[in-house]
Chains A and B, each alone.
Chain A
Amino acid sequence: MNRKRLDPLSLILATFGGLVLFLPLLALFTKVPWGSLFSKLGEPNSLSAIRLSMWSSLLATLLCVVFGVPLAWVFAKGNRRFVNVLRPFVLAPIVLPPTVAGMSLLALLGRNGLLGRYIYQATGWSMPFTASAVVFTGVFVGMPFLALVVESTFRHLPKDQQDAAEIDRATPFTMFRLIALPQARNGIATGALLAWARALGEFGATMMFAGSLPGLTQTWPMQVYFETDQDMSTAYALSAVMAIVAVGVVFALRKQLRRAFTN
């Protein structure tokens, strides 16, 4: 990298761009009531929202791993033409506006939904307004990130061990379980972390699909939204911790990010 190749215009625009991204976050931290941070976070509504968001996003992440890793494996090893057609549909939730994601989930699992109708008629149960709707939304928005990262990891695994296993006539499942999985553990961890952050932060789709009831479906980001109309300082306290989590995720992934940009 040659330093002289940086022209002043690029530097000025880059500075501006960097500030646009960094200043809002900095400003957020100046508004946080640090002195009463823990009492604000300890309010019953804050606490129940944090608790709900933590367990539901972790459960969503677990489901993302259970289903997303095999999905990524199929994408990495399956018929290329078939996969290329299928992949955009599965990754679509990444770029889907949250409200559209919420509409899609209602269209599928609402009481009048494509599947939801039959479930409701048969059992009298429907997913909207339940904690399971919060988890399901997390899986829907989080799994694409995991699948994307893990597929790429599977594609870039060193071939020699897999070749050796093939010579030893390992079954496809043995190959997946004993060779690909351990080799891909860093990628899986990265994907899981991204999926978790996404599930934790989801707001619009969750509010549309799961509703918002304190203690049951009112998540951490929703609590921020409602607190802005009631107690700004609590909203800032809740936001700050989310921002710290977000920065923490990016910090934890700094090696992976560097690798992604240098390869």
Chain B
Amino acid sequence: MKRPSIFIVIALAILPLVATPAHASLKRNSSTTLTIFAASSLGQTFTTIGKAFEAKNRDVSVQFSFLASSTLATQLNAGAPADVFASASVSDMAAVKLLVPDTTIFTANRVVLATPRGNNFHINKIIDLNKRGLKWIQCAPIVPCGAAANAAMASEGRITSKPVSLEPKVSSVVAKLVNGEVDAAIIYHSDYVANKGVLREIRFKSAQAATTQYPIGVVKTSSQSVLAKRFVEMVLSAYGRKILAEAGFIRVP
């Protein structure tokens, strides 16, 4: 009686091995997959652009990995297979310059202080962060949004309170803010625009310190560099810039 159950276990264990190549080869015949590594803050805009790209290029499916740029850079250097990398900071792009030699700045973003509408602490100025008992968060300094947050706060001065958490990527910060776990958070202006209905934003005095630039480029090891280049062109096109500008990103020349 033992035998059948052993066969089931073996069948279950082997199933993915057998099923995956078949599925993959099926896909290869009908479509190509383009893998885009993009900063967490590009989640919504790049998904939109990706859909438009798929509509324009039949047989191509665009796959995204949205994480902190620093995490993506580490993954790329460790050999992760990506065709395009879009970073939320110049320094994280520099960390992969051997893999992504040619890059273009395609947009910029500015960090702001955001607070849920109707929050009890009535935050109207950056200095209000010093109010007792108030909880606020930001990204970890190694992540672009954290680096920009630190620079913006340093330019502001007089802030003695500390964040209660340094999150691994901006989307985690936004989620905790929107869910009301904290009273305020430093996020991108584009994140505020996406959540205008529930958030209010307070800008930092120094727009320059709060701004981070976004470079994009084709990964040298990509086996589909022509297609990858076409995706980059779409991001840089009038259409791509419009999508980004509407989402609150800053236009660059």
Chain A residues engaging chain B, CB cutoff 8 angstroms:
106, 110-112, 124, 126, 128-129, 207, 210-214, 216-218, 225-226, 228-230
Contact = CB atoms under 8 A, between A and B. Distances in A.
B142 interface: yes
A217 B168 CA distance: 13
A226 B168 contact: yes
Given A211-B164, A211-B167, A213-B163, A226 B181 contact: no
B140 A212 contact: yes
B205 to A, nearest CB: 26
B168 A129 contact: no
A212 B137 CA distance: 10
A136 B217 CA distance: 44
Interface in B170-207: 176, 179-182
A203 B67 CA distance: 17
A213 B74 contact: no
Contact of A211 (B68, B137, B142): B137
Interface string B154-168: 000000001111111
Contacts of A124: 133
Contacts of B176: 128, 211
Contact of A212 (B68, B73, B162, B167): B167
A226 B71 CA distance: 9
A229 B135 contact: no
A212 B71 contact: no
Interface of B: 68, 70-71, 73-74, 133, 135, 137, 140, 142, 162-168, 176, 179-182
Please name the 6 residue pairs, one residue from A and one from B, whose CB atoms are nearest each other, closest first.
A211-B165, A129-B164, A229-B70, A229-B74, A112-B180, A129-B165
8 contacts: A106-B179, A106-B181, A112-B181, A129-B181, A210-B165, A212-B167, A229-B70, A230-B142
Nearest to B135: A129
Contacts of B71: 229
A238 B92 CA distance: 24
A110 B178 CA distance: 12
Contacts of A228: 74
Contacts of A212: 140, 165-168
B135 A225 contact: no
A129 B172 CA distance: 13
Nearest to A214: B166
A228 B140 CA distance: 13
Contacts of A126: 135, 181
Q: Which of B73, B133, B142, B165 has the most CB of A within 10 A?
A: B165
Given A213-B165, A216-B164, 9 more contacts: A112-B179, A112-B181, A129-B135, A129-B137, A129-B165, A210-B165, A211-B166, A211-B176, A229-B68
B181 A213 contact: no
B142 A111 contact: no
A31 to B, nearest CB: 12
Contacts of A106: 179, 181
Contacts of A225: 168
A229 B142 contact: yes
A190 to B, nearest CB: 27
Q: Which of A211, A218, A226 has the most CB of B within 10 A?
A: A211
B140 A128 contact: no
Nearest to B173: A211
A216 B137 CA distance: 13
A13 to B, nearest CB: 10
